[in-house]
Structure 1
Amino acid sequence: MDLLPFGEYAASLNRKRTAAGVLLRDDRSRVLLVETTYKPEWEIPGGAVEAEEAPWATAARELHEELGITRALGALLVIDHIPTQGVMPEGLAFVFDGGLITEREVRGIQSTDPEISSVGLYSLAEADRLVKAPLHGRIGAALHAVNSGETVFRESGRPPGFLSETVTLGP
């Protein structure tokens, strides 16, 4: 077997799109969702990872750009594999813990981002009507991860069929 020259090998490697979001929740486990101006489904704050940007930097940047919130992020809660969807290539979505947020803080958000038309706190059941099914699964997994202290793996928002669902964090 002949090996490719390193440059050719590197050029042949698969490229994946990457997204990162933030789970903000209140003391009743309602999650903060953003209504976008460019599609009917709601989202958690977040977006596409730019070239040479770490996913956690993306999550913090998007949180600030979309909602004007600057805060330290907590643990990585979810890693979700997203298969190819039409023109969108396969990818990975990361969800980081943004901590607790109060109703008062949410009411005070005045987004200047033209992509965001409104924000609100929603239960997991309410979110089911607002977000796509894979994101709903990701949000449920993220709430589980907050309570269990485990990073949760998903495939299109569902538990993977061949791997353990969780990895214990810490000692």
Structure 2
Amino acid sequence: MAETEPFSVEKFVAGLSRKRMASGVLFRDDTGRVLLVEPSYKQQWEIPGGAVDENESPWATVSRELTEELGMRRPVGRLLVVDYIHADGDWPEAVMFVFDGGVLTQSDVDAMVFADGEILSAGFYDLPAARERLIPRLAGRVEAALEAVKLGTTVLCEHGRPIT
């Protein structure tokens, strides 16, 4: 009778796949335009947020990033979008989250402090103007988040496209 190797939690965990995660927050103004931020380190614009650190929840990431990048402290709203991103070249697969940040005014934007140098500017943009500044899958995610706000739901996406 062949001996079986005893179960090893270490080996089991080492064999599990690892996914990167990132979280963003959707802020709007009273006309429905979305807040975009201009990063200093790449051409494409973003919504506020960033990569989830080890042992950090996606919602804690949003709070941390708002403080670090914009000098803001605001409560994180409900989950609007979960977007699964396929592996692409050197980039591993990922899960992206978008939370509701609610409505901001222009004075809120004017009071932002870009302390860590990652963000150059921030402003409100309607969806067509936002699409020009965002990579396509993030533009799709933002559009899905706006729909989730309108419908009071959470939208599941793959690569920025809602699944049906």
1:1-171 equivalent positions in 2, closer than 5 A: 5-160=8-163, 164=164
Moved over 6 A (4+): none
CA RMSD across the alignment: 1.3
Distance 1:141 1:29 in 2: 13
Residue 86 (structure 1) shift:
2.0
TM-score when normalising by structure 2: 0.93
Which residues of structure 2 form unaligned runs of 5+?
Answer: none
Deviations along 1:33-52, whole A, 9 cap, x unmatched? 00011110000000000000
Q: How many residues align?
A: 160
Bigger Rg, which one: 2
SS in 2 for 1:93: strand
Comparing 2-11 and 45-54, the one that deviates more = 2-11
Q: Which runs of 5+ in 1 are unaligned?
A: 165-171
Give the fraction of aligned pairs with identical amino acids, expressed as a percent: 51
TM-score relative to the length of structure 1: 0.89
Aligned counterpart, 1:167: none
* 3-state SS of 2:154 partner: strand
SS at match of 1:106: helix
